[in-house]
Amino acid sequence: MTPLIAVAGRTGAPSKVSRDEVAFAGKRYLNSILRAGGEPVVIAPQVLDAESAREVLQRFDALLLMGGPDVDPQLYGQTASAQVYGVSPAQDRFESALLQAAIDLRLPILAICRGMQLANVVLGGTLVQHLASLPNAASLVAHAPGEFPVGAEFVVHDIVLSPGSWLATATGAQRVHGASFHHQGIDQLAPGFSAVGHAPDGLLEAIEHEEHRIVGVQWHPEDTSADDAAQQGIYDAFVATARTKQTSF
């Protein structure tokens, strides 16, 4: 049977497309899941407690957390800097509830960009609020385009993956090219996570949990997955894991 992949949706403002707010997920995420043989289902943002989140996810085979605006720094004990943007406590609570329910249900979880950062925070880690504030900022490769939305939509850089990691197996490579668009990153890694991918500047780009079925990538594989087999391979392996009900991830 086609595995059902829950995609934690986001709320968009009214526009010419819809007079009402919309619940949405990016088509590139959805198309990457479809190419992998899964059926993506967007879960509308809503108020969920632990029990209702489990009820929602019991019918699904996996959970995808998308990229997006910043996680509320209060969740990791910090005050927001001037560079933090788009914080939505309601969205954080919604996605956190789904994440916890997916962990409880032993579902595979693919966490992209903000999704990886949220998973790290929920499980006890912290974030760098703005990469440009780091002491070595001048030596970092570009992790976001400088003129968006006028210029390029994302930047592409190398990521080196740990041999034997789930991601190295999924991509079939130890060096991949990832499309990046982020100004934050992981600072303190949450207990249970292993660092399995880094950019050439040393910035942490991929994590895998030693107990829970969570894989997080800081880049956006869906941005280039239509033309890059290694990036599509992440979605292929994710959906394959959901399909076979594997006990490891």
Residues known to be catalytic: 113, 220, 222
Chain centroid to Cα 190, Å, comes to 15
Q: Are the C-beta atoms of 25 and 42 separated by less than 8 Å?
A: yes
**Distance (Å, whole) CA 28 – CA 198:** 24
Instruction: For residue 94, list its beta bridge partners.
Output: none
**Distance (Å, whole) CA 72 – CA 79:** 9
Q: Which of 8, 112, 110, 5 is nearest to 62 (CA)?
A: 5
Q: Is the dihedral of CA 41, 45, 49, 50 positive or negative?
A: positive
Angle, to 10 degrees, between the axis of helix 89-104 and the axis of helix 50-57? Answer: 60
Q: Which of 5, 222, 16 is nearest to 98 (CA)?
A: 5
Q: Are the C-beta atoms of 107 and 153 separated by less than 8 Å?
A: no
Chain centroid to Cα 134, Å, comes to 22
Helix %, strand %, coil % of the chain (to 5): 30, 25, 45
